């Protein structure tokens, strides 16, 4: 590895302030989820330091770090997408590795490099670590399992960014406390830093429950500076559950001197929903608890960015529809619910006809517009109550759960065929794009998700053989024809 690139990578890793920190519930929940979803004994969030790999979260091992020279993850960080070792005994890079020949006797490894964004660092650096799964037997991953692993790695990157942001906020709060102590000796926070960082300070007296707010706390609550709220009035900005949690934090701080740090939703005086982070600790006077002091920070923007990242991990960027991974999760959830509630479910697989001709003759920009138009139509009209997804290329899927649509599936398929017709004109030449649909009804409770996909795919194949732009339902030897086309 280029020494300059490695030095920059190590500086980026250090900027996250994550190495040698205690275990965190969010990271551990993620690796535990990987264990369950991917049926593997070992799952890790591994960070590759200059001489070691250190585990922020580890399931299935009793160690927190191993030498870098033995680490599979040290290879993963140089990969653009995924390192997959189906059998380490057959891989010349690893067949003599002590972790293969000795404990934990690795045979299978799959790791996704972690490259969370960080200001001041380029995107072409190697990863700072990996999100990986390990097995003691050779195995292969399906495309669905690879997608799950990548989705979990994307969440791990979001957690790393969130950890760094939280650490920066703690650093800022500590700096504010130090400077405030110099100015007054009794105050813990710096007013100027409050305004710059959107952090407000507060103080709750233990003797009389008197509550004091800094100007920024008033701003966060959208309340005019002036009248001091009572504790009851302040807690009313939170949901009942969050208000109870805050009261419990106050009680533990007063009785045991425990500090607290948590996030919650807050509804401002003008009705806006905000995400806030609250930190509190006990203040002593004459060696006795006198008050609870703390800070509150509006972290709505950061929270929304993290939500957007989670959304982007399950959304097709071009069409705006759910992607294949999101569709497969929703399909599984829908089938499970339908089995319990005895509700109908229909699956439609959709291929576009004439799309390649548009791409070849009019260019990819025109093809993209066709895909966007199809996506808009799949969210409108007869498909308003269905769950649409883009599986890839010009392949789409639709989950239908409304009873009246499932009850007359041929009529519904015909409506879909009619609605998914578009035409595009460029330089006086018009090209038409329509849809061919294969459908199946989940009438058999024992039919698996894979079996229903197979049935719908077979119906789609039969429809294409009969006539493109038509539809077919599995088990019914009857073609479904469409009507006319629109122009975009």
> Helix (H, G, I), strand (E, B), or coil: what is residue 400?
strand
Angle at 22 between CA 20 and CA 23, to 5 degrees: 115
**Residues near 281 by beta carbon (within 8 Å), at least 6 away in sequence:** 253, 259, 260, 292, 293, 294
The pairs formed by 161-168 with CB atoms below 8 angstroms and a separation of 24 or more are 161/116, 161/117, 161/118, 161/306, 162/26, 162/302, 162/306, 163/16, 163/17, 163/18, 163/21, 163/24, 164/15, 164/16, 164/17, 164/18, 164/118, 165/299, 165/302, 166/277, 167/16, 167/17, 168/17
Alpha-carbon distance 216 to 196, whole Å? 10
Report whether 235 contacts 247 (CB < 8 A). yes
Report whether 366 contacts 359 (CB < 8 A). yes
> Helix (H, G, I), strand (E, B), or coil: what is residue 476?
coil
Q: Which of 394, 408, 427, 444 is catalytic?
A: 394
Give the strand pairing for 52-59 and 211-213.
unpaired
Alpha-carbon distance 346 to 355, whole Å? 25
Catalytic residue check, 394:
yes
Give how far Cα 382 sits from Cα of 387, 405, 412, 413, Å: 11, 9, 8, 10
Alpha-carbon distance 225 to 218, whole Å? 6
Alpha-carbon distance 388 to 313, whole Å? 16
Distance of CA 465 to the CA centre of its chain: 40
Alpha-carbon distance 28 to 32, whole Å? 6
Report whether 438 contacts 460 (CB < 8 A). yes
**Sign of the CA dihedral 386, 391, 393, 396?**
negative
For the chain, first and last CA: distance in Å?
A: 51
Angle at 13 between CA 7 and CA 17, to 5 degrees: 135
Residues marked as catalytic: 394
């Amino acid at each position: 590895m280029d020494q300059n690139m490695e030095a920059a990578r190590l500086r980026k890793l250090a900027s996250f302030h994550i190495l040698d920190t205690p275990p965190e519930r969010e990271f551990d929940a993620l690796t535990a989820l990987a264990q369950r979803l991917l049926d593997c004994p070992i799952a890790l969030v591994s960070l590759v330091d200059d001489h070691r790999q250190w585990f922020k979260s580890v399931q299935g091992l009793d160690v927190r770090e191993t030498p870098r020279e033995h680490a599979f993850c040290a290879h993963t960080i140089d990969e653009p997408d995924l390192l997959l070792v189906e059998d380490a005994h057959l891989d010349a890079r690893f067949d003599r590795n002590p972790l293969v020949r000795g404990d934990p006797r690795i045979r299978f490894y799959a790791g996704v490099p972690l490259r969370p964004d960080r200001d001041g660092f380029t995107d072409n650096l190697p990863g700072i670590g990996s999100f990986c799964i390990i097995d003691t037997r050779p195995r292969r991953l399906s495309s669905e399992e690879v997608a799950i692993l990548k989705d979990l790695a994307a969440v791990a990157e979001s957690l790393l960014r969130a950890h760094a942001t939280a650490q920066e906020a703690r650093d800022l709060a500590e700096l504010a406390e130090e400077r405030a102590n110099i100015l007054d000796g009794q105050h813990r926070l710096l007013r100027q830093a409050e305004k710059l960082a959107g952090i407000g300070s507060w103080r709750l007296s233990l003797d009389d429950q008197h509550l004091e707010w800094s100007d920024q706390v008033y701003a966060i609550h959208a309340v005019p500076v002036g009248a001091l709220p009572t504790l009851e009035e302040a807690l009313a900005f939170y949901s009942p559950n969050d208000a109870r949690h805050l009261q419990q934090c106050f009680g533990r701080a007063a009785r045991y001197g425990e500090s607290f740090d948590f996030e919650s939703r807050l509804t401002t005086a003008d009705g806006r929903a905000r995400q806030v982070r609250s930190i509190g600790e006990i203040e002593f006077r004459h060696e006795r608890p006198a008050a609870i002091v703390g800070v509150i920070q509006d972290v709505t923007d950061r929270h929304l960015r993290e939500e957007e990242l989670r959304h982007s991990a399950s959304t097709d960027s071009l069409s705006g529809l759910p992607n294949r991974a999101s569709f497969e999760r929703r399909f599984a959830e829908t089938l499970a619910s339908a089995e319990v509630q005895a509700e109908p479910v229909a699956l439609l697989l959709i291929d576009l006809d004439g799309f390649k001709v548009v791409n070849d003759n009019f260019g990819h920009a025109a093809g993209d517009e066709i895909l966007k138009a199809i996506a808009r139509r799949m969210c409108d009209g007869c498909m308003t109550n269905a769950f649409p997804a883009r599986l890839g290329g010009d392949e789409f899927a639709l989950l239908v759960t409304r009873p009246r649509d499932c009850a007359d599936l041929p009529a519904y398929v015909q409506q879909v065929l009619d609605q998914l017709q578009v035409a595009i004109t460029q330089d006086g030449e018009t090209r038409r794009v329509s849809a061919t649909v294969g459908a199946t009804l989940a009438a058999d409770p024992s039919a698996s998700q894979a079996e229903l996909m197979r049935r719908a795919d077979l119906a789609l194949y039969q429809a294409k053989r009969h006539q493109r732009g038509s539809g077919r339902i599995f088990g019914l030897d009857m073609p479904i024809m469409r009507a006319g086309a629109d122009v975009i």
